[in-house]
Structure formats: C-alpha cells, structure tokens
C-alpha cells in the first residue's frame, strides 16, 4: 500500500451510533456501559490498553474474522511492522514483513462511506480489493484518499495516545526496526 501522510485533523465526536463520548483529540475514554462487549476489542501493548469498538454494521465479515483471530490468540506478539508518522500504524502480519496473513481465505471487500479519520481501524490489502485477511491499520490523522477504498471495521475509543507513541518506521517505506508489538488482543466479552 503506497500512502502519503495528511495534515492532522481533530474531531469532536465519533459517529459510531453507540453514544460514546470522546475527547477532542480523537480516541478518548468511552463509558464501559456504552460498549457492546461482543464487539469491542482490548488491545494490550507494553505501554497500556487500547479499546477498539468494532463496526459489524459496516463490515460484518471483517469484524467476524478479527474476532475469530483474536479468540485464537493470533495477534498476540504480532508487531506494528509499518508505522508512518502522520498517517497510520499497520499490524496483523505474523511474519512481521507485511506479506503474511492467517490460514483463512481472503475476505471480499466491505467498503462503506465511513471516513478514515483519527482512530479509524481499517483492513490492509493488496491492490486486489478482495485480498484483506488479517492485517489492519489504525489511522493517526484524516486520510480521505482511503475513503471507500479500504474496509473500515472499527474505531479506537480509548488509548489513541498509546498508538501515537508507537515507534515510527523508516522514511519512504515506513518499515520499523525493532517494532512495538501487540501483547494480547482480546474480545472484551471474553475478559470480563
């Protein structure tokens, strides 16, 4: 995926339809009672926990795949192999090279009109729109050039500051030397 960074964009509210209250910086604290535990992920990093509200209303098949992989502990120890300052942090490749995926077949695209803004979680893919598998990225700033081209399946609702703190990659490629990793990724319903 060849992307270019975009200028910062601060949003005042999250249009998830979940009644979440977010900070002006994007990805603020959501009240636990507003989150559906079956459609919420807890991503533990060495620096703390990131909460992701999943969007089955937008991408039911992608959400189901992420939940399946999380329940299989697939993401535990997986690195953020590509991190581009001002743009996004990509993970989900068990090889750490950007070329790997799960043993499951690729998914058919579920593109929507949901915008790629700060905290959006979207599936990575090859030039084939129907090639998403296990890799995903979290957007640091507004990236309208991705809208309608990548499957949005979630939104960081707490801990975006921890995503901001991930090690950045090399200029040009974004590939990270000695990258940060996901300690665990769990469906909230399984850890309550």
Closest Cα to residue 90, out of 166, 184, 10?
166
Give the pLDDT score at 180.
98
Give the pLDDT score at 14.
31
Contact indicator for 154, 138 with CB cutoff of 8 Å: no
Low-confidence ranges of the chain (pLDDT < 70): 1-33, 192
Question: What is the tens place of the pLDDT at every residue in 147-190?
Answer: 999 999 999 999 999 999 999 999 989 999 999 999 999 999 99
Give the pLDDT score at 31.
55
The single-letter DSSP state of residue 79 is B
Cα separation, 69 vs 89, whole angstroms: 19
| Tokens (6 digits) for 93 | 């490749």
Give the pLDDT score at 192.
67
pTM for the full model?
Answer: 0.84
Q: Give me the CATH topology for the region 33-190.
A: Cyclophilin (2.40.100)
Ramachandran category for residue 148: left, alpha or beta (phi over 0 → left; psi -120 to 50 → alpha): left
Beta strand 182-187 pairing with 152-158: unpaired
């Amino acid at each position: 995926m060849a992307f270019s960074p975009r200028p910062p964009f601060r949003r005042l509210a999250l249009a998830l339809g979940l009644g979440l209250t977010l900070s002006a910086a994007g990805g603020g604290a959501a009240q636990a009672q507003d989150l559906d535990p079956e459609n919420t992920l807890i991503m533990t990093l060495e620096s703390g926990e990131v909460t992701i509200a999943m969007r089955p209303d937008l991408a039911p098949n992608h959400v189901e795949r992420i939940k399946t992989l999380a329940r299989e502990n697939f993401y535990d120890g997986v690195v953020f192999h590509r991190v581009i300052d001002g743009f996004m942090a990509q993970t989900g490749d068990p090889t750490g090279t950007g070329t790997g995926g799960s043993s499951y077949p690729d998914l058919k695209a579920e593109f929507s009109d949901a915008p790629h803004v700060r905290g959006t979680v979207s599936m990575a893919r090859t030039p084939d729109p129907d090639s998403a598998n296990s890799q995903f990225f979290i957007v640091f700033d507004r990236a309208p050039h991705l809208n309608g081209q990548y499957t949005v399946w979630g939104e960081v609702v707490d801990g975006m500051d921890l995503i901001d703190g991930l090690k950045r990659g090399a200029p040009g490629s974004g590939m990270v030397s000695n990258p940060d990793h996901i300690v665990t990724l769990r469906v909230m319903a399984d850890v309550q």
